[in-house]
Amino acid sequence: MNATTASKAYAKVGVDSGVALADPHKLIAMLYQGALLAIANAKNGIMRNDIPAKGVAISKAINIIDEGLNASLDKNVGGPLAQNLSSLYEYMCLRLIHANLKNDMAALDEVARLLADLKGAWESIRPSAAATAQPVQPVKPVADPLVYGKR
């Protein structure tokens, strides 16, 4: 096994382990991060004039956005917010297709900005560690002697 194959296998195990251990909130954050990384790789492909690498990276970003982020929306429960996010994800995919056809760095930058904004908003609503900790046990009320007529 050469060093490249070994490092790819190691990275895959790291990603697989991260996914296996992540809560649903973290998984969405990982999807945002993966899409941003794929867009960065697409930009590198354009700069290096590596058309196959650009195509693979843009396809990966589209798959993450469509089959990951968009598919995870519950449009029945999420109402207008989920519908709006779905429309935004569809727009991003169209812009990525355009970027692929035209080598349009501005379109890649636009989608990356949108994803980064959504990722930041998503991370800002992350449940705190205190909220996910063990629930607080209710305290039994102590009888107040004044309330019950005792002193």
pLDDT of the residue at 38:
98
pLDDT of the residue at 9:
41
| 33 pLDDT higher than 80 | yes
Kindly report which listed range (3-12, 20-29, 118-127, 140-149) carries the lowest average pLDDT score. 3-12
61-75 average pLDDT score = 96
Give residues with Cβ within 8 angstroms of 110, minimum separation 6.
95
Which tokens sit at 62? 């589209």
Q: Percent of the chain at pLDDT above 70? A: 70
Q: How confident is the prediction for the chain on average, in pLDDT?
A: 81
Contact criterion met (CB below 8 Å) for 67 and 111: no
pLDDT of the residue at 4:
44
Angle between helices 51-63 and 75-102 (to 10 degrees): 170
Eight-state DSSP code of residue 72: T
Rounded to the nearest 10°, the torsion over CA 137, 135, 74, 56 is: -170
Structural domains present in the chain? 8-132 (1.20.120.340)
Kindly report which listed range (20-24, 118-122, 143-147) carries the lowest average pLDDT score. 143-147
